[in-house]
Amino acid sequence: MIVIRTLAAALAAAFLILVPAQAAELPAAIIVHAGKADSLNHGFALQFAEALAQGNNALTIQVEESQGSVQNIIDAMHHGGNYLFTAPPNLIAQARRGDKPFERNSGYGGIRALFPIPFLTMQWVVRSDSGVKRFADLAGKPFVPGAKASFGERQTAAALHLLGLDERVQLIDIDPAGNQVAGVAFAGAFPLPAISNLATQTPIRLLSLTRGELAKMLAADDSLVADIVPARTYAGVDDNVNTIAQPAGAYSTMQMSDATAYAIVKAFWTQKAALGERNPAWRSVTAASLAKLGVKLHKGALRYYREAGIKIPSALK
């Protein structure tokens, strides 16, 4: 367990300070479950937990290792109003339907969204001199689909199958920096350091899904959403890249008080720019990311977004 402690009072003036009446309503500590210690979401949780404490010196955050998103959602039924967890929205939808591995529990209907965290975005990278400008051009060429059994490998295999290329592309396991391959698949929040490093070694291109290709991918997997890697995220990639991603967010339940949810969400967005300076992946999180959370916002969170003038999709209200 890692405890992110509050800052000294001298720093508090630089950040959000709630009025005493609100601060008195906050729990002694917020417990965060966000996967195993070596997972991406656990790392993101440590980062946003520190930001929350910096954004509001009345908040103390405890980030605890968990068995993953499924367990995080199940645990939400056994914790009180001081519990916060990360998960992809499709798993919350599964829990509400009672689909395996979840058992039917009406309590899952009380899960509420707080804020987005960086999405797991597919980024298919090819060498500019490979002659590959679209997915069809991968036919007959060697390509690294990503680490074995990873999200990236699964989505690469799914994309090639849906596009009729699964028997025509030579999938291999090799160092992506080698010149033997046309390209390599990566999955993660952009900008990914590995891709940035590749771009300094050799000119690269990111494959962009056409509208039809994107529609096929989304229709085949309800856990995915459309995403865009903005132009100039990587050196030499001067156009927006259309791709897919698995969204994720920070959630709680209706048991969390409105005051606590409001304080957490306000502290997060107050510190979001600073988070982006420490880890550029947080720059990919915008107000538009809220639409992908798939769950109604907590009333306390909704209050903050309304005060901030952020337009909220009706499905989240």
Q: Residues 36-41: what's their mean pLDDT?
A: 91
Q: Residues 292-299: what's their mean pLDDT?
A: 96
Q: How many other CB atoms are there within 10 angstroms of residue 142's CB atom? A: 16
Tell me which CATH code domain 2-117+249-316 carries: 3.40.190.10
Task: Answer yes or no: is pLDDT of 174 > 80.
Answer: no
3-class secondary-structure state, position 28: coil
Whether residue 287 contacts residue 307, with contact meaning beta carbons closer than 8 Å, is answered with no
Calpha distance 202→124 (Å, rounded)? 15
Calpha distance 128→114 (Å, rounded)? 40
Whether residue 293 contacts residue 247, with contact meaning beta carbons closer than 8 Å, is answered with yes
Residue 132 Cα to chain centre, angstroms: 29
**pTM for the whole thing?**
0.86
CATH topology of domain 120-246: D-Maltodextrin-Binding Protein; domain 2 (3.40.190)
297-308 burial string, b = 16+ CB within 10 Å, else e? Answer: bbebbbbbbeee
pLDDT band at 162 (very low <50, low <70, confident <90, very high): very high
Beta-strand runs (E) in 29-181: 30-33, 61-64, 83-87, 111-127, 142-144, 170-171
59-63, 175-179, 209-213: least confidently modelled range? 175-179
% of residues, the chain, pLDDT over 70:
90
Same fold, 2-117+249-316 and 120-246: yes
Calpha distance 133→208 (Å, rounded)? 9
Tokens representing residue 66 in the block? 């968990």
Q: Residues 181-203: what's their mean pLDDT?
A: 94
Domain positions in the chain are: 2-117+249-316, 120-246
Look-up of token digits 């907590």: 298
Per-residue model confidence (pLDDT) at position 24: 45
pLDDT band at 26 (very low <50, low <70, confident <90, very high): confident
Beta-strand runs (E) in 99-221: 111-127, 142-144, 170-171, 183-188, 204-206
Return mean pLDDT, the chain: 89
